[in-house]
Amino acid sequence: SLYPSLEDLKVDKVIR
């Protein structure tokens, strides 16, 4: 794939 993966960013990170 040519473009960067957005997989990590799609997960809503827990806000502490």
- The site for another protein (CB under 8 A) is made up of 1-4, 6-11, 14
Say how far apart CA 5 and CA 8 lie, in whole Å: 8
Sign (positive or negative) of CA dihedral 5, 7, 10, 16: negative
**DSSP classification of residue 15:** P
CB of 16 to another protein, least distance (A): 9
CB of 3 to another protein, least distance (A): 4
